[in-house]
Structure 1
Amino acid sequence: MDVVTLMAIGLLTGATTVLFGFGGGFVAVPVVVWADAALGTAALPVATATSALVMVVNAAFATAVTPRSVLLALRGTGALLPLLAVGAAAGAYASRFAPAALARWAFVAYVALTALDLLLRPGFLRPATRTGRAPERDPRPLPATAGAPIGAVAAFLGVGGSVMTVPAMRRAGHPMRVATALANPLTLAVALPAVAVSLAGSPPPAVPASGTGLVGLVDPYAAGALLLGALPVIAVLRRRPPRIPDRVHACAYLALLAVVALAMALTPV
């Protein structure tokens, strides 16, 4: 996959970072698997690690340009961020030893089940019937106890935390524009330890020791090209955010989950 194609896909990761809180993981994992298909079964662990690096940079930049008034909604989360980081470190370490087929189909299954949950259970596309109120009218912080499991699963699959934090914050009462913006700092807490584990360790047996251009498990060529496309888009969309009706925004999030699950299921690894 050439640099122009990767940069074009980077534009999409930048858009998903701002509009849906995805720091790049959902898009980057299938793309890097395709880009590094020559690595065979090692392509998925490399894609997961590279995705984490892309997410760190995208999420950090998006957080830095997010209005402080929005970030203040994270007050009251207590130990959530450090527990996300602890869980992410454990998940990233475990992913180094998981069979490629297990990691791939766990990714597909998790995303597909999440999409079904959002479609069928009240609280995301429509208000929860037990309260009778629109989601955005009763915002609550995420419980700190959710941090470790969210971090572990997200880092293991290489998807960041947005697939769990956006629905959770939506059901906690935040509108989509706030839930997706807050997903960026939460994704940063997940991706930072995952990147540290990926860069510090030696490649697992499935990854060739030399001649691949990898740094640890990270493909710097793919990561750099994706970021070159993503960062300008993040800057523009944060300054001039599009006006999207809340329900349309939620439906688009759900549709993107379905597309990514399908793309990963069809990836030839």
Structure 2
Amino acid sequence: MLVSFFVLLGFGCLTGVTTVLFGFGGGFIIVPVVFAVVAATTGADAMHTAVATSTAVMIVNASTATLAQARSGRLRKEHLHPLAEFIALGAVLGAVAAIWAPDALLHLLFIGYLAITIADSLLRRGFLDNAGQRGQVRPLGKAASTAGGVGIGAVASFLGVGGSVLTVPLLRRRGLPMADAAAMANPLSVPVAIAGTAVYALAAPATAYPGQLGHVNVLVAAALLCGSLPTIAVVKRLVGKIPDRVHAIAYLVLLVIVLIAMVVTAFA
């Protein structure tokens, strides 16, 4: 158990880095590691527990990073509203659907989601290099804010990934630099985290374990936060100092690493 704690603590630190630099309040780092830890210990509902615990950690991480980004002036109100409200609505729908989805299906959909996101960012213009659009920041259209917001919230909550992997490419293609797009992902992940955690915490798992609230493993979440919160406080000083294209490439490299980890655990 002590080994598991230090593993979670270390990955919590990594989550703090990704929260600030990429807008990942948990999701892509937390889901694979919690899945592995739970599968190696209790083994029951590992993917459901991983997704639920990820959303709980996201509440704290994304909120903390949002406060830091607000002080830096990187948050744009015109892109937050009404997108955030529709993301919250979609998050409730996604979390309810995830409760009824088989554990193996969640795992496979998580892998598919990662693969599609990576391919889209590489093949479609506007993500890796949006220099031609910078300085011409465009507002979100009505469809992107409403139907798009519901879709982002549903997918993010269903898979426990926040929403940054949908919102960051979306905002990049609206002309935002990578640092600003990643900063915006944090407040847009908060409604996903709150709605998702509420649904998962009230759910009744097939088997209850000590330290578990519904599908949320409170002890695992606490260990992750012990690593992430101090890291967020340190890494926030790096925002805006990384070259834009390097920042975008690092974002995709991280997604590829997580994809490989999830594929390996799926067939282990």
Same fold (TM over 0.5): yes
Question: Is the contact between residue 77 and residue 141 of structure 1 (CA under 8 Å) also seen in structure 2?
Answer: no
- Aligned mate of 1:182, from 184, 189, 205: 184
Q: Which residue of 2 aligns with 1:214?
A: 212
Alignment deviations for residues 113-169 of structure 1 (CA, whole Å, 9 cap, x no partner): 110111111110134xxxxx6232221233312110000011001111000000000
Superposed counterparts of 1:218-229, under 5 Å: 218-229=216-227
Alignment deviations for residues 48-87 of structure 1 (CA, whole Å, 9 cap, x no partner): 000001111100000011134212x132543211111010
Alignment deviations for residues 23-60 of structure 1 (CA, whole Å, 9 cap, x no partner): 01100000000110134351000000000011111000
Residue 29 of structure 2 aligns to which amino acid in structure 1?
A: V
**What is the RMSD computed on CA atoms of the aligned residues?**
1.6
Secondary structure in structure 1 of the residue aligned to 2:128: coil
List runs of 5+ in structure 1 lacking aligned partners.
Answer: 128-132
Secondary structure in structure 2 of the residue aligned to 1:134: coil
- Count of residues paired in the alignment: 259
List runs of 5+ in structure 2 lacking aligned partners.
Answer: none
Corresponding position: 1:92 with 2:90: no
Q: Which residue of 2 aligns with 1:70?
A: 74
Secondary structure in structure 1 of the residue aligned to 2:24: coil
Q: Which residue of 2 aligns with 1:253?
A: 251
Question: Is the contact between residue 19 and residue 186 of structure 2 (CA under 8 Å) also seen in structure 1?
Answer: yes
Question: Is the contact between residue 179 and residue 239 of structure 2 (CA under 8 Å) also seen in structure 1?
Answer: no
1:173–1:105 distance in 2 versus 1, CA, 3 Å: same
Secondary structure in structure 2 of the residue aligned to 1:138: coil
Q: Which residue of 2 aligns with 1:11?
A: 13
Structure 1 moving runs of 4+ over 6 Å: none
Counterpart Cα distance in 2 of 1:108 and 1:212: 29
Q: Which residue of 2 aligns with 1:130?
A: none
Task: Give % identity.
Answer: 49
Superposed counterparts of 1:21-60, under 5 Å: 21-37=23-39, 38-40=41-43, 42-60=45-63
Give how far 1:178 is off: 0.3
Corresponding position: 1:123 with 2:121: no
Corresponding position: 1:243 with 2:241: yes
Structure 2 length-normalised TM? 0.92
Residue 58 of structure 1 aligns to which amino acid in structure 2?
A: N
Question: Is the contact between residue 141 and residue 169 of structure 1 (CA under 8 Å) also seen in structure 2?
Answer: no
Secondary structure in structure 1 of the residue aligned to 2:216: coil
Counterpart Cα distance in 2 of 1:255 and 1:59: 21
Question: Is the contact between residue 99 and residue 203 of structure 2 (CA under 8 Å) also seen in structure 1?
Answer: no
